[in-house]
Structures are given as C-alpha cells and as structure tokens.
Homo-oligomer: A and B are copies of this chain.
C-alpha cells in the first residue's frame, strides 16, 4: 500500500486522483493480459462457445489458465457463463456488451502494434547494433 493518508502527495504521475489512478491501473492489470485479449478475440469472432471449443481454438493455453482467465473475465463482467444442467456437463461462454466494448478499446493498441511492427524492429536492430560495436 502506498496509501499516505492525509499527507499531500506533491506531484503524482498525473493530475489525476491517486485513488482512481490506482483503481484504473488495477483494472487494466486484470484486463490487459495476453490471454484475456486472445479470449476476447475468440469470443468476439465466433460468438458463444463451450469450454472445450475455446480450448481447441487456443491450443497454447493450458486448461488451468483458460479456467482462470474465464473466471476473472466473468467476475469483471466481461463474459457471461451459462451452465446447462445436463448429464455431460456443458458450459457456454459469451462476451457481454462490456466485453465487446473492451475489445474495441484494445483495437487501438492492437493496430498500433501491427502498424509499427517494422519500425520497432528497426529500432531494436539499431539499438542492438549500437551495443555490439565495442
């Protein structure tokens, strides 16, 4: 906790209320991770899916991470989880409106990354080259 109670924090990262700042950062941390972004994409593209189907679409994710990520997304209101009370259990996951809106917000970063892939690559080579020439 960096909570300095009544003491006037001189200059925070911004002019923003530090408490809101912390909340926002926490939220971003929970929501901006690799698997969350991927799952949003999958659910956006293919609509409601059951657990195993999602796992098939994202072969590199472990079942643990899939469960964990879906749970957190559900808790944050990003996905809606529907349990069908049938004998072989069946659970469907669907993106909520909130989840969809987050997906759109991510588009900016995603597009930035795509657009500047080579620029970054050039920068990296320049940097690495500079370090190499002893």
| Bound Cα distance A74, B123 (Å) | 8
Q: What range describes how many residues of A lie at the interface?
A: 35 or more
Partner of A28, one of B14, B105, B109: B109
List the B side residues contacting A31 at CB < 8 Å.
113
Partner of A114, one of B20, B102, B114: B20
Kindly report how many copies of this chain are found in the complex they form together.
Answer: 2
List the B side residues contacting A123 at CB < 8 Å.
75-77, 98
Partner of A77, one of B37, B59, B60, B119: B119
| Bound Cα distance A9, B117 (Å) | 23
Contact across chains for A75 and B113 when beta carbons are under 8 A apart: no
Contact status of A27 and B124, CB under 8 A, knowing A13-B42, A58-B13: no
